[in-house]
Each structure stands twice: as structure tokens, then as C-alpha cells.
Structure 1
Amino acid sequence: MTTPLESATEPTSQSNSDEIARREFRLFKWGTLLALALGCAWPLTLNLVDPDLWGHVQYAQDWLAEGQLPRTASHTFTAEGYRWINHENLAELALAFGHEHLGGTGMLVAKCLVGMAVVLSMVWIAVCRGTNPYMAWVWMLVVTTNLQPFFLLRPQLLSFVYCALVLVILDRAFCHWHEQRTVRWPVVWMLPVVVALWVNSHGGFLAGVAIIGAYLGGRILELIINRKNVAWSKAGHLALVGVACLAATLVNPYGLELHRWLATSLTQPRPEITEWLAPHPSDPVFWPWLAMLGIAGGSLLATSKRRDWVEVVILLLVVWQSAMHLRHVAFVSLLCGYWIAPHFQSAMGCLLPSESTNGGKFALSPWMRRSAVIALLVVIALQSFALDERLKRFPVDRGLYPVDAIQFMADRHLDGKLVASFNWAQYAIAALAPDVTLAFDGRYDTCYPTEVVDMHFDFLLGEANGKRWRGPDSGPIDGRRVLKYGEPELVLIDRLYEHPRSIMRAEGEKENPDWVLLYRDRVAEIWGRSYRFDDPTSPDYMPLSQRVQDPSPREGEVPWPALPIRSESNQLASENPQAVQSDVQL
């Protein structure tokens, strides 16, 4: 028999238990969102050093120091006075600002925050389109995994930001299109402003203009097809926006010259540049890309939501481009991030319970609920620790970059005209300019004639099993031509490439060699002109005791930018007593 006191306390006890359960459920919900967000942040914290980062910072610093935009090639002896069309000016200024005021760690943090802002805008658009936030964040894990290989500190980051802005603008401007065929004109007229900024930041603006043109053209076509009385004024207004976006591409320091250069550059194959090749199963991005396409395609097929044929057509076109050129995978990821989440949820079904289910509480015992919350908090703590550790390091790997070889050149005051491996050239510019000028670097054909581009890859790759593309005026493949053109005095080669190693080895084994080995380690070799470094009467003569052959592995890392420590003493030799002249063949 229940006493009055017991009957009065039972409802109160049950009410307290329900309130605790609801709090635990809310905590678990928000914790799950945070864990998913941190999972999306991890790919965006990639802290690998892009080989061109040194150059981007250096060119912006040169511009600021000189007070005017350089119009001809700098830091080079093979293209002196040749026109330079730099389509990444704003991005380089941003990178130089970050280097000056934020440092390596600050730049990584800023990059991650920019990436997360893009992801948050994707989630916002997805929720506006009726997607459950949990399902949206789960889909973002797929998107950010595909963005990761491209999310380095490089001008391409601004292309991702501008592409995100374009997609947000289009979504908000046409959010009532299917129901009412209305357009928010003040919003859509922001597009030309974005294009004007984009054209001065990165060559990816061409993709943006193509997406805008296809999107506006598709909406105009819908007006023509779906209306008995075509709204010609609305169609004309959309066409005018498209024309304004095209005109905005002329808002750059070079005017039409930029477009002429692009027309020439984009019609030339680039088999030497990995990002311009088709995705291959050996590429890190290949399988995530294939998985994303499979999930996106399945979602579009199985969805019960309205499919926007304009978005589907644009997505298919960009997927086609990504199948031809690896670098376009990033744009497929962005389009999927903004357009696929509602269809992904529809295809997957409603997997998450609503707040009203079971009165908003776990269908679990109290100890299981609390164990789940504790486990989630542990996961969040581990994620936060991992992110913190990754963001604190911006390492230059001594096994991938010629950190020790560059230090050797600085210690020995080696100057003059340098032929450097493609991926190391801009590091050499930042570390050794103005004492050293380069034969060729990562600016490619923005400031180098085709003849110079081809002779460098002749030296680096040779025939490459017939996979090369060369200009019609470049003549036959000749790997030794780069050693004569412009009379270079130094050569820095990456030992991963056998072709330049064999050329330099043959040069050094001649009876009267033109080149002599000055430095060799597991990563790099430095060769110098014999008349300058092997002649005892030369002021630059380097005796055998000062030349280095060091067979030890190049382990460890140094913080970016890994510039050499300038010293009057022979620092490298004193720190590495075993690194003396020897006959060791590495």
C-alpha cells in the first residue's frame, strides 16, 4: 500500500529523472555536432609546405619593396626582360601579410578558419534546403576529405573561397526560383564584384565564370521553356549580369593581355605537372574522389527531393573536368558540398530521432547515457589535442627539401646563375636572392618562354617515355642544353630524378670536365663550374677539404621558411665533421 508521502514524491522523482535525461540528450546532441565539426576541421589543417609558397611570399615582398607591380620576370637569368603576367597578385599579398604578421602557425590557423567558414556556409545552405544538421555535417566529412590534398597555403585557397561565395550568392539569389521564378537582384549583382576580386587572385576564376555562365544560362533557358509568355525582361537582366561578370575579368593590371596568355597557356598540354593529369589510383585523392562521386550519384538517383537540372548539369560538367585534370577535384567537392546534402539525407532516410521521440530522452539506461556522453567528451578532447598539435607545426622536411644544401651554399657564399630542380627553385630564390638568379621556377609560362620551359624539363625528365609535350620551336630533346643556355654557374638537383644525375655524372667524368661536384647528400647535389671552383687561381676556388659528401640520412625538420642561417664561418663543416671529401657513392 502506497502512503500519501510516497505518492507525492514519485512524480517529482520521475520529473527530475526526465529533466536529467533531457539535459544529457542535449549535451550529447551538441557534442555530436562538435565532434563532427572537429572531424571536418582535421583535413583543413594540412600542414605540408607547398613548393611555391616561398616564391609567392617573395614576389609580394618585392612588389611592396619596389612600390610598383613588376611587369617583367624577376630573379631569373633566362627570361630577363620577358613579360610577366602574374594572375595571383592579391593572393600573394595575403600570403606575404600572413608571413609577416602571423607566422607559420598563425597562417595555418587562419587557413583552417577560412576552410571552416566555407564548410559552415555549406551546412547553412543545406539546412536552408531542409537538411538535418547532423546529416549535413556527416556529408561534410566526405567533402572535406576530398578537399584535403588541395588545402595547402597557396593562391588556390582564394579560388575555393570565391567559388564558395559564388555558390552562396546563387543559392540565396534564386532561393524562391522554383516556386515563384523570382530573383533577388541586389544579391545576384554581387557576382561581378566577386569575379573582379577573383581574377586578380588566381587563375581558377575561369572555372567561376564558367559556373556562373552555365547557371545563369540554365535559368534563362528555364524561363524560355517553362513559360508561355516568356519574361524577356528577366531573361535580359540575367544575361546582363553574365555580361557584367565577363567584363569584370578585365579589371586586372594586364587587361586583355591576361586573356590572350590564358588562351595560349590552356591550349598547351602540361604532362609534367601532376595536377594537370587525370586522376590515377596511385593518387591520394583518387579513392576519396571516387567514393564521393559514388555517394553523390547514388543520392541523386535515390532522392525523393526535386532535382535541379541546372545544378546537375553543372556538376556533371565539372566532374568531367576533374576526370581530365586532377586539380578540378576540389571544385567538384565544393559543388557537392552546397548541392548534394539534401539528396544525401533523402537517400539515406531519416536516421536520427527527433527531439520529441521518447519525450526527448535516450532510450538507454542512465549509466549507458552517461557513458556515451563521457565517451563523446573524450573523443572531442582527443580531436582538439590532435588539431592543436598539427596547427603548431609547419615543418620543412629535410628529407624532401634541400635544407642542408641551401645552408651549404649560404655558408660558402655561392652566388651566380643557378639551375635548380623545379620544385626547389622558389625555395632557392627566397633563400639566396639577390646573390643567385634562377634558370627556371614554378611561375612556369607566366614569365618564361616555352623554349626555357622545355629545356628545363628536358634536363629534369628527358623523354619521359614519350609523355612529354614540347613547343614547336624548342628543337629536339637535349638534356644538356640547360647547362649552356645563359651560361649558368651552379646546378642544384634533386637526387630522386635519375636523368639530371646521369647528365651531371657524365659531365664530371670527362677528361677536362666543365662541372665539378661541390656537395652531395641523400637529398641533393650541387655542381659548380670547373673554371670557377676547381681552378686554384680562381678567387672562388673551393679546395677538396671544403667540399661535402655526406652519406648520412637527412632526418628531422625545420620550421618554415627554413631559410639559411647566415654566418661568416663554415658552419656546416664544423657541425658535421664526418662530412668531408670522400669517394662515397650515394
Structure 2
Amino acid sequence: MLQIQASHEAAPLIDDNRRARLVFCLVAATVMAAALLALAASLLQDPDSWWHIKVGQDLLASRTFPTADTYSYTSAGHPWIAKEWLGQVLLALAYKTAGWNGVALLTIAVVALAVFLMSWHLSAWLKPTLAVGLTLVLALLVDPVYIARPHIFTLPIIVVWTAYLFGVARSELAPPLWLLPLLCLWANLHATFTFGFVIAAFAGLDLLMRIRLSNPRLLASWIAFGLLCPLVSLLNPYGVKAILATFTVAYGNEAVPYILEWRPFNASEHGFQEVALLAVLFGLLVSRLQIGWAKALFLVFTLHVYLTHIRFMYLFFLLVPIVLATEVAEQYPALSLAKWMADKRDGLERFFAKWFYQICGVVGVLVVGAIAVLTSAYQAEPSQKTSARDALTFAESHHLSGNVLNSYNFGGSLIFHGIKTFIDGRTDQLFLNGFTKTDTEMGRSGGKPILQEQLKKYAIDWALLTADDSRIPFFDELGWKRAYSDKYAVIYVPGA
């Protein structure tokens, strides 16, 4: 009788603990959303956002999936697939609904969701206060990836995918089949879905480390899940081509070294991240945290991918803490959720639990109010560093037409405005066979003959260059006329 009474008394406490956790995680998501709302325009400064939206618009209009390039004249007709078609459609729908404000709001909402999920999964093992604080620091570290492009939609997915797979491996259970539709969604949103295969493999290794060969049936279920992953990923408009496209970039795409986001980690440019990396390594060495060889390999893998290509910094900073949270909680109980649940609730936590629904309502009102303010009183838009808005207005008013030689950063805006490009951000599939290398060499010392050759080869009728484009002096020397210039862009036309 006493045991039954004790269990009934414990139930409200469990509910209170869960509610307090939820509020902590909602606070983390709200803080992140508020910070991004204050800097909404910064989410729109990537030149590729323009062409992603345009591709999404064209997909909605034509209801067909492209298989060849129609957006440039230098690679026209070459094989090209919109492998991130669903992410592009979502961006196009957001733009159609509320312009660039809609795109910014959608991006903010997805990042806030990822922060909520991150803090929720970390707080399943660590104290909620620690989980929330750690999540916000990690979210700040990966700030460079918060841009309005299709990869942003994968952040919540990769958090859930990693947390559940390593969670069931630790519990020595079969992987849940509901994760497969999530992988299918991922495969249609962005090409990084192949990381899902790798994460599943590392989780399987973690299980193997725990049970060895003692449970063949369980191991068979994991092998079957691993085989189903690539099969489920084929459920996209391009089938196996979408998978092959990711490996083409990862293993030898010649244009990759010339694109900033694909370059290796540079400590002089990412000092904050360097400090974080050194702090993580110092902490692991000093704490002597025991994580097992499978998770150690996962840490090394994510670190390798990050140091090789800075665009993948989020794999290390977001996923490694999720994977190691269980060991931290077990080996340092003072930091664990169990310790927090056993402690007497403080005033703030009791307040969160008691007024849970009211707090959720207030948060909802604040979010709706912030959205209303952003959409009515503030107009977020890309900088002219990528839009060349005034320069393109000049080009249209002066009826400039024909083949344009453009700076890389203006390629997306040109596509958006229906002007075929010389080069743009689709270098993972196009502008190969030395093209991107030649484009880079045109602006280097001694590049004038190369530029002159390209002008003739592609019958260039005008040029749209960023104000700091290193080819500008060569155009002057070749007798081209500067028809327009501002602090963002320069337009050249052939001299008389």
C-alpha cells in the first residue's frame, strides 16, 4: 500500500520535471530565434540563396525536374540535377508568401527547432540548465551555417537521427523503422543525406562494441537497417544520381578547392571555433572521459570532415555532444539529469512546472508578435554585395543583353533575374574541366591574356563585376568602357 502511494506521489514530480525540461528547451529555442530575428538580414547574404529560390520557383511552375543546365550559357545543356529540390521548393514558397522576410522567418524557425531538439536530447542525460547553456554555445559556434539555403532544413533531422540511433544502440535495441521515412525526407531536402548512412554505421559499431556477437538477431536488425538506408534514399526524383552526386563532390571535384565554404579549416579566420576545438580536446584529456572506441572513431570522423571542409562544422559541434552526453552523465553524476531530478526543486523550476501552459502561451504570443513586427515594420533583404540590385537596374534600363561575364558572387542574382550566367554557385556539378580554375586565374597576376582569350571564346557582350574583382584593371587595360560603378558593382561594355 505504501509502495502504491509512493508511486502516485512520484508521478506529479516526474510530470513537473518533464515540464521544467520543456520550458528550459523552449527558452533556448526562443533565445536563439530572438537573436536571429535581430540579425535577420544576415541570413540572406549568401549568393546561392538567389538561385535556390529560382530553381524552386521553376519547379513549382513547370512541375518537372531538371536534368540539364538551363541557367548558364557556358555550361548550357550539361547534365545537372536539382538534387535539393524539396528544400528549394520550401524556400520558393516562403518567398512567394512573404518575400525575403518569409525566407528569413522560415530559416529562423528551422534553426530554433534544431536548438530545441538539441537541448531536449542533451537534457535527457544532463542537467537542463547545463544542456541549455551548452546548446546555446554550440549554436553560436555554428553560426556561419545559418544561411537561407536547403541545408538548413537538415539540422533538426540530423540531430534526431543521431540522438535516436546512438540512443537505441546504447539500450541494445533495434533501430526504429520510423527513422527511414525521415531519411527519405532528408534525401529530398539536401545532398548531405549520405552522412545519415555514416552515422548509422557508427551507431552500429557502438552496439557491436557493447554486445560483440552475443545477440545475432539484434545485429541482423542493424545490418538490415543499414541496407535499407540507401534503398530508402533512392525515393527521390533522381534515384541513384542523387547519391552519386554527393560522392562526386567528396572525392575529387576539381572546383571544390576554389570555393570558400569547401576549403579546409583556417584557424586565423575562425578563431572562436579554434578556441572551442582546443577546449574540447583539453577537456577530453584532463577529464579522462571513457567513451569507447566506436564513439572515439565518430569524434575523429566528424573532426576530420570539419577540418577538411569548413561547411561541415556543425557535424562536430552539434553531434559529438549528443553522442557523448551519456558518458558524461554516467561518469560525472553531478552533471546528470538523474541528480537534477533527485534534487529539491528550486523556485525557478517550480515556477516553470506550475505555470507551464501559461509560459508556453506567452512564448507563443511573443513569437507571433515578433513575426508580425518583422513582416510589417521591417524588410530583410540581401545585400547588394550579392544582389547587385542597382547595377542590374542600370543594365535593364540601358538594355544590356548578350553574354555577360560575371563575378562568382553575382551568379545567383543573375539566375534569379533570368540572365544566363558565366559562372555561379552550382560548381558541385557544373563549370568543370578546368573552367573554374581558369576563372580564378583570370584575376591573378598575368591573367590578362587569359581574360582576353575568355572574352573572345565566349563572345562576351558585357561584364558585371564586384567592386573588388581583381580583373577590373585588366578590363581598363583592354580598352573596355566602365558604364556603371558603385561601391558594390562595376559594369563594363566593349570600348568604341
**What RMSD in Å do the two structures reach over aligned CA positions?**
3.7
Equivalence for 1:526? 491
CA distance, structure 2, for counterparts of residue 57 and residue 361 of structure 1: 48
User: What is aligned with 1:291?
Assistant: 275
Structure 2 CA distance for aligned equivalents of residues 453 and 258 of structure 1: 22
- Give the conservation status (yes or no) of the 8 Å contact 1:166–1:191: yes
Match of 1:147 among 100, 125, 142: 142
2: CA distance between counterparts of 1:356 and 1:211? 33
Aligned partner of 1:112 in structure 2 is 108
Deviations 1:135-158 (A, max 9, x none): 111111211111211011101112
Question: Is contact 1:199–1:252 with CA below 8 Å preserved after alignment?
Answer: yes
Which residues in structure 2 correspond to 1:82-101 (within 5 Å)? 82-101=78-97
Q: Does residue 274 of structure 2 align to residue 268 of structure 1?
A: no
State the 1:478 CA deviation.
2.3
Q: 1:520 to 1:297 in 2, by over 3 A?
A: same
**AA paired with 1:446?**
Q
AA aligned opposite 2:464 = L
Match of 2:472 in 1: 501
CA distance in 2, matches of 1:30, 1:63: 38
Change (3 A) 1:426 1:490: same
- Is the 8 Å Cα contact of residues 519 and 525 (structure 1) preserved in structure 2? yes
Question: Where does 1:239-278 land on structure 2 (aligned, <5 Å)?
Answer: 239-266=223-250, 267-269=252-254, 270-278=256-264
Instruction: Give the distance between the partners of 1:31 and 1:233, measured in 2 at CA.
Output: 40
Deviation at 1:361, TM superposition (A): 5.9
Match of 2:70 in 1: 74
Q: How many residues align?
A: 451
CA distance in 1, matches of 2:244, 2:446: 29
Map Cα deviations across residues 201-256 of structure 1 (whole Å, 9 max, x no partner): 222123222222222234235433xx5xx322221221111111122333333333
Could you report, residue by residue, the CA deviation over 1:100-136 in whole angstroms, capped at 9, with x for unpaired residues?
123322332232222222222222222222x111111
Report the equivalent of 1:8. Answer: none
Contact 2:258 2:437 in 1 (8 A): no
**Residues 402 and 192 of structure 1, relative CA distance in 2, 3 Å threshold:** same
In the aligned structure 2, how far is the partner of 1:351 from the partner of 1:67? 51
Counterpart in 2 of 1:280? 266
State whether structure 2 residue 119 is matched by structure 1 residue 123: yes
SS in 2 for 1:526: strand
More helix, by proportion: 2
The aligned counterpart of 1:549 is none
1:30-52 deviation per Cα after TM superposition (whole angstroms, max 9, x unaligned): 99877655444455545322211
Calculate the TM-score normalised by the size of structure 1.
Answer: 0.68
- Give the conservation status (yes or no) of the 8 Å contact 2:69–2:75: yes
Aligned residues of 2:264 and 2:310 also touching (Cα < 8 A): yes
Corresponding residue of 2:11:
none
Whether the 8 Å CA contact 2:183–2:233 is kept in 1: the answer is yes
CA-CA distance at 1:89 after TM superposition: 0.9
1:192 aligns with 2:185: no
Separation in structure 2 between the aligned mates of residue 196 and residue 146 of structure 1, nearest angstrom: 28
CA contact (8 A) 1:139 1:341 kept: no
1:216 equivalent in structure 2:
204
Residue 568 of structure 1 corresponds to none
Look up the SS of the partner of 1:502 in the other structure.
helix
| Residue equivalent to 1:488 | 460
Mean CA deviation greater in 296-305 or 261-270: 296-305
Task: Find 2:389's aligned residue among 403, 406, 419.
Answer: 403
Query: What letter matches 2:169 in structure 1?
Result: F
Amino acid in structure 2 at the alignment position of 1:97: L
- Superposed CA deviations along residues 10-59 of structure 1, whole A, max 9, x for unmatched, are xxxxxxxxxxxxxxxxxx99998776554444555453222111101111
Structure 1 Cα separation of the partners of residues 211 and 345 of structure 2 = 47
* Paired residues for 1:129-140 under 5 Å: 129=125, 131-140=126-135
Distance change in 2, residues 1:254/1:481 (3 Å): farther
